[in-house]
Structure 1
Amino acid sequence: MTVPRVARRLLPGVAVAAAAAAAALAWLAHLALPAVPVLTGAVALGIVVGQVPALRPALGRQLAPGLRFAARSLLRAGIVLLGLKLSLVDIAGLGWVTIATTVAVVVLTFVGTIGLGRALGLPGHQPVLVASGFAICGASAIGAMGAALRARHEEQAVPVALVTLCGTLAIAVLPALWHPLGLSATGFGHWVGAGVHDVGQVVATAQLAGTAALAVAVVVKLTRVLMLAPMVAITAAIERRRASDAAGPRPTIVPLFIVGFLAAVLVNTFVPLPEWVLTGADLVQTALLAMALFALGASIRVAALVRTGWRALVVGLTSWVLVAALAHGAVLLG
């Protein structure tokens, strides 16, 4: 077997190993600076790596298969395990008003962002991907929706960059607005859970208001995460119908990893799992998503984003304001 052929077989694994190392670095950064969530750090590290000129040829060619595997297969596995964080009992404990307003925030942000994205001419699946990230659960939702719609990595790069930017800014901006808006500690937690994108960013933001606020924020946020399944399934069904009309490749009706996600939610709700199982699953899920999001971040080219992404930036910032405003309204109604 020739050396180039051996290299071609080994390099995808090297790419995944590199993603694993990057995930470990993001974890260490989180331990040193708890305000920086692991997944945010993984995306940011991937973006930095993607800007190094000497690495771009390898990222675009030799390492591309392994990074695609990380961004697709590892992400799907991580999303399945994400379901083990959700319990329908905890969500039901919020009360029907909080659940209804949280669902309304997700749906209105999703629809509004898609409409704005299309009005401003964002290409391809970008309007749906930006909407998924801001309305549901950040870069993880973008990856899940992109996988269901078979979106190209280039389409996912800009939404991932935007949701990472705005989610990171939220860690600093929302606490500064806590007291001016007259919110109680639990009200602040509700606002953060309903309006911040990634679970890690929610934890980093809400913990500033104490354990009660953090508990409310996490449960509200996980209610939004539960919306990932129906939103992906409905959007995939709509895109499938459009693809059928256009005789193009059709997304699956309900992606298999979404079925796995729902199954994990039901298991965690009705099966008394040992704490060590939940803790281990949480560690594996975080590691898988960190590797996947590093791979997605490595596909981002900041220079191209600056030149061509101003429309997406307008959509992202507007969506961020929209979800924060709707979330504040949900707190007042709750």
Structure 2
Amino acid sequence: MKALPGVLVAGAAALAALGLHTLLPVVPLLTASVLLGMVVGQLPAFQRLAAGVLKPGLGMSAKRFMRIGVVLLGLKLSLVDIAGLGWVTLATTVAIVVVTFFVTLWLGRRLGLTGPEPLLIATGFSICGASAIGAMSGVVKAKDEEQATPVALVTLCGTLAIFVLPALRGPLGLSDEQFGHWVGASVHDVGQVVATAQIAGTSALAIAVVVKLTRVVLLAPMVAAAATIERRRLLAVSAGAGAQVDADGAATAARPPIVPLFVAGFIAAVLVRTLLPVPELVLDVADGVQTALLAMALFALGAAIRVRTLVTTGWRALVVGLVSWLLIAVLALGAVHLA
């Protein structure tokens, strides 16, 4: 019951974001949710409530609802559709994600970003935006305030992409299909991909969504790898601190599972969609629930962002985000011409 006020506020915010999206279809629902959270999060009265009566519910929305939404996201993915892209497109898509991830992570650490921030920015920009940031945060136990800057940056760049990429389509001489491929391989959030690609028609939109969801598939191995690294780090810390060791020689200190439960759920959802004839009604309901949960989660994360702090101390993170955005756009454009 303690979580109820915060959950109700997040739900009301998701409905408000839906209203904004309905009035301005160019603004994706999940982007609107983050932006709405960022706006109300600057109000002193809301900040006091967020630190008090709303805190349990907003925390539940940002963490638990995000993880459930990621699991349901798996029902959007069919491995058959992904295989239909061809091996060149698949290989270049995987390469783009991996290169963007590690270059962004390296740059973030070189510029002095601390804690999980470099990892979260790298995950968000290379895979699937704020949803990926929330998934990775669950593994590295990032606090809401540590997620705030990465979420703000990936929302900013993804929103800019909605306007910048269509403007470049003509000068770059891209066909509808090439434009859809470029959008799917470079834009962060699924909603932002749809908003950007639909400008070029249905064929561009179809390709963009499949390429984008191929990137989403890589969320599972990336998060699982991060969980393994974090597990080893905690084992090393525990051993160094003289933690008790069981008969197998493993430290008894708490540590994350090799594959987090929600990641296993995501993989299971992908396999269900691929192997079983899931009724269209079930997919539609799951899509609606997933969108609602992610909208609530992203509002809660947006509400944790403090714009003044971001402007005064977040310039290094801003540089990392902009470089990562430019990198993935350039790599994706090169992949378009290889396909």
Same-fold call, TM > 0.5? yes
Aligned mates of 2:91, 2:18 — CA distance in 1: 35
Q: How does 1:1-334 map to 2 (within 5 A)?
A: 9-10=1-2, 12-247=3-238, 250-334=255-339
Aligned mates of 1:235, 1:101 — CA distance in 2: 22
Deviations 1:277-300 (A, max 9, x none): 111110000000000010011111
Measured after TM superposition, the shift of residue 153 of structure 1 is: 1.2
CA contact (8 A) 1:150 1:251 kept: no
Aligned mates of 1:315, 1:257 — CA distance in 2: 28
Aligned mates of 2:292, 2:47 — CA distance in 1: 24
Aligned mates of 1:260, 1:115 — CA distance in 2: 30
Deviations 1:215-268 (A, max 9, x none): 000000000001100010011111221222222863321110000001000001
Letter in 2 for 1:294: F
Aligned mates of 2:285, 2:331 — CA distance in 1: 35
CA contact (8 A) 1:86 1:269 kept: yes
**Alignment correspondent of 1:6:** none
Identity %: 66
- TM-score, length of structure 2 as denominator length: 0.94
Secondary structure of 2:171's match?
A: coil
Letter in 2 for 1:215: A
Letter in 2 for 1:170: A
Secondary structure of 1:179's match?
A: helix
Aligned mates of 1:19, 1:177 — CA distance in 2: 36
Deviations 1:188-217 (A, max 9, x none): 000000000000000000001110000000
Q: How many residues align?
A: 325
Aligned mates of 1:193, 1:278 — CA distance in 2: 22
Aligned mates of 2:31, 2:312 — CA distance in 1: 24
Aligned mates of 2:46, 2:69 — CA distance in 1: 27
Q: Decide whether aligned partners of structure 1 residues 176 and 249 sit closer, same or farther in structure 2, where only a CA change above 3 A counts.
A: farther
**Alignment correspondent of 1:5:** none
CA contact (8 A) 1:101 1:330 kept: yes
Aligned mates of 2:191, 2:143 — CA distance in 1: 26
Letter in 2 for 1:280: V
Aligned mates of 1:56, 1:154 — CA distance in 2: 13
Aligned mates of 1:254, 1:112 — CA distance in 2: 24
Measured after TM superposition, the shift of residue 309 of structure 1 is: 0.3
The root-mean-square deviation of aligned C-alpha atoms, in Å, is 1.0
Letter in 1 for 2:22: L
CA contact (8 A) 2:5 2:53 kept: no
Secondary structure of 2:160's match?
A: helix
**Alignment correspondent of 2:243:** none
Aligned mates of 2:76, 2:4 — CA distance in 1: 29
CA contact (8 A) 1:71 1:295 kept: yes
Deviations 1:136-172 (A, max 9, x none): 0000000000011111111100000000000000000
Letter in 2 for 1:299: A
Secondary structure of 2:277's match?
A: coil
- TM-score, length of structure 1 as denominator length: 0.96
Secondary structure of 2:58's match?
A: helix
Aligned mates of 1:250, 1:307 — CA distance in 2: 35
